[in-house]
Chain A
């Protein structure tokens, strides 16, 4: 019981009756439809569900990339639905690290520069951010690929650069939308292991995946269907 209370104080993300509806012609698509979730600091959460069930939509809402049609999303007790774009940019830059299925590296920048990019927007001085980027690339095992452009890297390497980039401003939350979706099983497993490690280091991780094997690493799994949470299964 004491344990439980402590966890509540540790809450970092709370979704309260969150919905996102799209108008597609005459129809209204309820991509996310009344979701309540609480995530605590250090949690490793997986979201699974069939294609079109609203996983990415929910993820983008949590990551402040999108605005909900209804409901509130609290990040560190701040209701991000009430914030302006420039504040949202700050939150995306400082509190959240994104990892995308398609890597989304800037093709004209080297691996090192891609990792420094989030720090540029936070006005981190040059020396400091280069040192930090090198450290992070070393951490993901790419210290020998610093000056490579994305198209000179393999898929697995690209995703590791993307993970390093997500860590650049040392965010509390890592959001990963099918990070292993474009990788073969072996590379996928390597990347999944990295999330494990980050979780062990205390990062809060939300991972969207199709792959039950990858989801197995998580403490908790939410299953989405038609924009609603179908059930929740925990490992612990």
Chain B
């Protein structure tokens, strides 16, 4: 085996340029596959982490049709009445909620539009919203229930100069033309949506957005030892009868962690399948390159093949030598592709974080992606080289020797 490896290696070395060009195809394909897989698995890890932080004891209620954006002027609304109903249901430990609106933020002679999130008056309930997202106070202080015209701002206002210059507690900001004082800056979440948010108390929010009793999302934490499916089912039933709807006309949705994970998992699998499809196509192209090179090589080396047979090579020996050759082409291309792929994936992760403040694009370095990419490259190399190699092994010695 080792001897055949050397024979194959020598012959590849002799045809350096062609070998390199052949490898290039597999190389590029493996880079593509590796980077795409690494980043999408990284994204999955990120989402998994987020859910872990959230814990398995919380679920959400949203008005139906609001999945694309909160605070729309849709007909369906949840209100504080719903909140009161849910709060009293057996098995429910804590309930919190928030409202969202699109705010016109003015500071430092700049105007921007970002989400404003209205927090419950109850400090404990407000705190729950932050806890669930793992948000802490970075600078200044939390809002108190009694605060008027005070706000908390997302991390990016303070530390990524979202408004042109750093905002500090005590600064004054205008939202929809009303002046607010910054009470604190919160810690980083890692995605721009959250880190650009502004948090205000519910009474201020109502004045700004004229939102009445509307709430955009209810967060429910169940009591310890209670079953998630049971409690969420009970909540659903009670809320349905309170809102006077049936299974057909139901106008709110209940999102349990399992459901969200399942939905995400499905989307994720489609994404992976799509990416792998792209990868597979580029691998096929790379494989055709190898097959082509090997066919040429067999033609050119007919006489060599004849000679080897004349000195005792069996068909299997010839087959092995040629298959190893194409396998090396695949493996070397794959190896180089993985190395460069690691670099590119890490580069994208770094770039996303530093330039855009996005924490979601992480490059996963799961050893299975690396092993898998290498194995895939090798297998494609072997498979695409197999037919030409088989052809070489079947050559009749006289015919091969006669070839000039």
Contact = CB atoms under 8 A, between A and B. Distances in A.
**What class of interface size applies to chain A in its complex with B?**
20 to 34
Interface string B367-404: 00000000000000000000000000000111001000
B310 A98 contact: yes
Nearest to B394: A85
A106 B315 contact: no
Nearest to A110: B10
A117 B310 contact: no
A213 interface: no
B310 A85 contact: no
A104 B401 contact: yes
Contacts of A194: none
Interface in A89-119: 89-90, 92-94, 98, 100, 104-109, 117-118
A63 B310 contact: yes
Given A104-B307, A106-B308, 17 more contacts: A60-B398, A65-B401, A66-B397, A66-B398, A89-B309, A89-B312, A89-B317, A90-B312, A93-B312, A100-B310, A104-B401, A107-B304, A109-B7, A118-B311, A118-B312, A122-B312, A168-B311
A184 B232 CA distance: 98
Nearest to A98: B310
Interface of A: 60, 63, 65-66, 85-86, 89-90, 92-94, 98, 100, 104-109, 117-118, 120-122, 126, 165, 168-169
B interface, over-half SS: helix
Given A63-B310, A93-B311, A94-B312, A106 B304 contact: yes
Nearest to A65: B397
Interface in B292-315: 303-304, 306-315
Nearest to B404: A102
Contact of A121 (B11, B303, B313): B313
Contact of A108 (B13, B310, B398): B13
A86 B307 CA distance: 16
A106 B315 CA distance: 18
Contacts of B401: 60, 65, 100, 104
B3 interface: yes
B401 to A, nearest CB: 7
B14 interface: yes
A65 B310 contact: yes
A169 B308 CA distance: 14
B13 A89 contact: no
A129 B302 CA distance: 26
Contacts of B313: 89, 93, 121
A105 B308 CA distance: 9
Given A63-B310, A65-B309, A121-B313, A108 B396 contact: no
A89 B316 CA distance: 11
A106 B307 contact: yes
A108 B311 contact: no
Interface in B248-264: none
B315 A120 contact: no
B312 A108 contact: no
Nearest to B13: A108
15 contacts: A63-B310, A66-B396, A85-B315, A89-B317, A94-B312, A104-B306, A104-B401, A106-B307, A106-B308, A107-B14, A108-B10, A108-B13, A117-B311, A121-B311, A121-B312
A151 to B, nearest CB: 11
Contacts of B307: 100, 104-106
Contacts of A93: 311-313
A106 B397 CA distance: 15
B399 to A, nearest CB: 9
Nearest to B399: A66
Contacts of A168: 311
A89 B398 contact: no
A94 B314 CA distance: 12
A136 B14 CA distance: 27
